[in-house]
Structure 1
C-alpha cells in the first residue's frame, strides 16, 4: 500500500518552548522530591572551595535524571534543557560543561560523602515501603568491569584481569528486587575480593540502619572466598554461601564423600547429583562449615570426558536447611548479572566518562542512585517488583509532553491512546502519596 502523502512534504521546526522531552521523568522526579533527595545532596556533600562546589543538589539531580532518560555521558544531560523539560524535574538543569566541572571536583573523601547520601536515601525509600522489613532477604555481592575509552582517561593505561582498560567496582545487590544497597569504585587491576570484607561490613550496617530486621544471607562466587569475608558475615550475624575453587584440599574432602551420599537433582544437564560433607576453611582454628558439592557428567566426546568421570562445583556455607535447597538457591546468585546488565545498559555505567578516579567514583554512585530510583518507581508506583530500566523508560519515561498553564495551574499533556496511560496515572498518584519517614 502506498502512503497517502510523502514524508518529503513534512516540514520540521524546533520552535515549541512548551514541549517536554522525556516527560515521564515526572514519575521518578516526584519520588525523588518526596524522598528529599536533592536536599540530601545539599546537606551531606561539601566540595569545599572546589570550582564545582555550588548547587550540588541541582547538579547531582541533573545527572541522575539524565541517566534515567538514557544518557550515558555528561553531554547527554543537555537534552534535559530542551523546551519545558526542567519544569517536570523539580530542580534547575545545569549545562554539561558545569556538570563536568562538578564531577571532576570530587576526591575520594567527597565520594564517601555520596555514600552517606546513598545510605540515607535507602533508609527513606525502604521506610516508605520499598524495603524488606522483617522478611528474610539475600544480598548478592559481585564485581564487574566498567570500561574506559581513551588512553588519557584514568584507567585507560591500566588493564583489568580480562585484558580491557577500565575499573572494577564492587556491588551489593538485594536478590529479587535489584536494589543496589552499596557500591565502591576500585581500580581496574583489583581482584574480585579486594576490600570485600570492609565493604560488606558497611553493607550490612547500612541495610540494618535502613530498617531491615529480618535474617540476611550473603551469596558470593569464588572471588570472595576469604576468611575475612566469612568473619565479616559472622560479626554481623549474616549467613553465607560462597563458591570455592577446587584446590587440592577441597578435592581431598570431596573424595571422602561416599557414593551412596550423592542425590540426583533437577538440572539442565542429565546425571547431576549433590552431596555434602564438613570442611574447615580459612585455617585450622576456623569453624567447621558445610561443604556442598554438585557433580555433573562431562559432555560425551569432550576432552574433559577423557580425563574425569565428573566435574565438580562446590560451595561452603553456614546456612541451615536441606542440601538440595541450599545448592539450588546458591545457583540463583547468577541473577546478580541481570542487575549489573541493568546498570550498564539501563543507566550510564557502560563506561566511565572522566580522566579522574574521583569523578568516575562519583559517576558510579550517581548512576547507582538513578538505578535505585527506577527500581523504587516500579515498586512503589507501578507495583512491579522487577522491571528492567529500559522497559520502564520505553513505556513510562520516554514519551513526549506539552506543558500548558491556565489560572496558575500547570497541565502536562501526554499523547492520546498511549498504551500505558492508565498505569502511568495510577503510578503518579501512588508516588505523590509517598510520605517521608525520618
Structure 2
C-alpha cells in the first residue's frame, strides 16, 4: 500500500540568496512612475522632504500605497519592500514614513488629491491609446452612456482610543468614512474620514465627497460626459439633490438615482396602484427577475423641496429568507424599495431605471475590497495621520484599477484585489545578473507566469507623460 497525503521531506533554512517574493508588486511601483503619480506626489509634498534621509516624499507616499495595494496593513509592512532592495530600490524606514504622514496637513492633503487627479488623467489617456478608453458601466444587460459615481458610507472599527473615533449606530466604536467610487473602472475617487457618530445622511458631507470626486475626473470627461450619481437613501437629502441639479449651471451634466424612505404617504400610494401598472423587474444580465415588479409613483406622492421633474419609482419582490422586513412589508407580503431619479421620461424604461439603480449595490463590494487595501485599519491615534492614510488607501485602489485597465486581459482584468495578489502580486522570483542587466525571473512553474510577464511587457509599452 502507498502512503496517502505524503509530501517531499524538506530541510528548512534561512540562507537563500537571489530569491524575492511579491515580485509582481513591482508592477504597481512602476505603474505609479509611468502615470506620473510618483512625480506628482513629490511635487505635492515637496515641503515635507525628510532631512538627511535622501528619500523623496512622493516616493515614500507611493511606496506606502504599493504596500497597501499588496495587502499590507501597517507601516511596519514596508519591511517587505525595504528588505528586497534589488526589486524595489531604497525604501524609507518606518520612522521616516511616520514623519511624512504626520506632516500631511489639510493643505498637503489637498495637494495629494490634486496629484492623484493629474495621474488619473494620464492613466485615462494611456487607456485610450491602448484600447477603447474608459469602459462603460453596465446594468440590465446593457451599457450605460454615463460615468457612474457611487457614494456610500461604511463603519470601520477602532480597537483603541483614536482621535475623533466615536460610538456608531451599530453599537460599535470607530470611524464612519464616506466614499465615492467610479463604477466604470472601480477607481476610488474620494473619501471623507468622519467620526463614528457622523450622521449617514448629512448633506454637507455628501456634497464635499461629490465635489472631491468630480475634481478627480479629467476636465474633458467632467464637462463632456453625462454623469450619474447613485446613493442609497442617505443620499436623498434635499440640499444634496439640489446641489447635483445645480452642477448643470457649471457645465456638468449630472443626474441622480438615490434611495428614498418608505413613509406613510408612500405606503398609501403603493396600496393604490392597480395590478396592471406593475412591470416585471430585470436581473443585471437583462433577463426577467422572478417575483419582482416595478411601478411609477410619480404624481401619487408629494415631493416638496426636491428638484423639478424628480420621479419616484418602487420595486416590490418576494422576500428572500432572512430579509429584514418592515411591518408594511409583512402586511403586504412583499419587500418594497423606493428610489428617486431625475432621468427624464423617454430615456429608459422603468425596468431599466430600476435595475440601473440596483447596480449601486456594487459599491459594497468596492468598500469590502477597500477594507483589505488600507482603510479597514487606521494606524495612528491622530486623526490627521489617519486622513492621510485613507488618501493613500484610495491611491492603492487606483493603482490596482489602473493595473486591470492598462496591463491585464481576460479574467484578471475584472479581478478583485485578493485574486490579483494571489495570482500576480505575490509571485516569487529569482534575481540574476547578466549582460550588465538585472533580471527578474518568474518561476517557470508559476501558473500565471505568462499573464505576469505580459503585464510587464504592456507596462514597458505605455506612453509616458511629458516631463
Per the alignment, residue 228 of structure 2 pairs with 217
Q: Report deviation, 1:245.
A: 0.5
Alignment map for 1:154-169 (pairs within 5 Å): 154-156=163-165, 158-169=166-177
Q: Report deviation, 1:21.
A: 2.5
Per the alignment, residue 183 of structure 2 pairs with 175
SS of residue matched to 2:13: coil
Scaled by the length of structure 1, the TM-score of the pair is 0.88
For residues 284 and 398 of structure 1, do their structure 2 counterparts lie closer, same or farther at Cα, with a shift above 3 Å needed? closer
Alignment match of 2:211 (pick from 166, 189, 201): 201
Aligned-residue Cα RMSD (Å) equals 2.9
Per the alignment, residue 331 of structure 2 pairs with 307
Per the alignment, residue 9 of structure 2 pairs with 6
- Distance (whole Å) between structure 1 residues aligned to residue 441 and residue 306 of structure 2: 68
Alignment match of 1:418 (pick from 446, 453, 458): 446
Q: Does the Cα contact within 8 Å between 1:128 and 1:437 map onto a contact in 2?
A: no
For residues 252 and 77 of structure 1, do their structure 2 counterparts lie closer, same or farther at Cα, with a shift above 3 Å needed? same
Q: Structure 1: which 5+ residue stretches go unaligned?
A: none
- Distance (whole Å) between structure 2 residues aligned to residue 306 and residue 298 of structure 1: 10
Q: Does the Cα contact within 8 Å between 2:150 and 2:230 map onto a contact in 1?
A: yes
1:266-295 C-alpha deviation (Å, 9 max, x unpaired): 579854321103257763574131111112
Matched, 1:351 2:364: no
Q: Does the Cα contact within 8 Å between 1:51 and 1:105 map onto a contact in 2?
A: no
- Distance (whole Å) between structure 1 residues aligned to residue 75 and residue 209 of structure 2: 28
Q: Say which is worse superposed, 167-176 or 330-339, in terms of deviation.
A: 167-176
Q: Does the Cα contact within 8 Å between 1:291 and 1:315 map onto a contact in 2?
A: yes
Q: Does the Cα contact within 8 Å between 1:42 and 1:57 map onto a contact in 2?
A: yes
Q: Does the Cα contact within 8 Å between 2:49 and 2:56 map onto a contact in 1?
A: no
- Distance (whole Å) between structure 2 residues aligned to residue 4 and residue 136 of structure 1: 54
Q: Report deviation, 1:411.
A: 0.8
Alignment match of 2:155 (pick from 145, 157, 161): 145
Q: Does the Cα contact within 8 Å between 1:136 and 1:216 map onto a contact in 2?
A: yes
- Distance (whole Å) between structure 2 residues aligned to residue 205 and residue 61 of structure 1: 21
SS of residue matched to 1:243: strand
For residues 52 and 146 of structure 1, do their structure 2 counterparts lie closer, same or farther at Cα, with a shift above 3 Å needed? farther
SS of residue matched to 1:239: strand
Q: Does the Cα contact within 8 Å between 2:135 and 2:185 map onto a contact in 1?
A: no
Per the alignment, residue 387 of structure 2 pairs with 361
- State the number of aligned residues: 429
Q: Report deviation, 1:15.
A: 5.2
Q: Structure 2: which 5+ residue stretches go unaligned?
A: 137-144
Per the alignment, residue 298 of structure 2 pairs with 278
1:155-182 C-alpha deviation (Å, 9 max, x unpaired): 45x1122222222222211224211122
SS of residue matched to 1:272: strand
- Distance (whole Å) between structure 1 residues aligned to residue 178 and residue 230 of structure 2: 14
Alignment map for 1:15-414 (pairs within 5 Å): 16=17, 18-47=18-47, 55-82=56-83, 85-89=84-88, 92-129=90-127, 132=134, 136-151=146-161, 153-156=162-165, 158-194=166-202, 195-209=205-219, 211=221, 213-234=224-245, 235=247, 236-266=252-282, 271-278=291-298, 283-284=304-305, 286-297=307-318, 304=327, 307-319=331-343, 320-345=347-372, 347-384=373-410, 385-414=413-442
- Distance (whole Å) between structure 1 residues aligned to residue 215 and residue 302 of structure 2: 25
Q: Say which is worse superposed, 199-208 or 136-145, in terms of deviation.
A: 199-208
Q: Report deviation, 1:37.
A: 1.6
Q: Does the Cα contact within 8 Å between 1:147 and 1:166 map onto a contact in 2?
A: yes
Q: Say which is worse superposed, 187-196 or 217-226, in terms of deviation.
A: 187-196
Q: Report deviation, 1:66.
A: 1.2
- Distance (whole Å) between structure 1 residues aligned to residue 45 and residue 236 of structure 2: 35
Q: Does the Cα contact within 8 Å between 1:31 and 1:432 map onto a contact in 2?
A: no
Q: Report deviation, 1:35.
A: 1.2
Q: Report deviation, 1:331.
A: 0.8
- Distance (whole Å) between structure 2 residues aligned to residue 353 and residue 375 of structure 1: 24
Q: Report deviation, 1:97.
A: 2.3
- Distance (whole Å) between structure 1 residues aligned to residue 305 and residue 177 of structure 2: 32
Q: Say which is worse superposed, 38-47 or 247-256, in terms of deviation.
A: 247-256
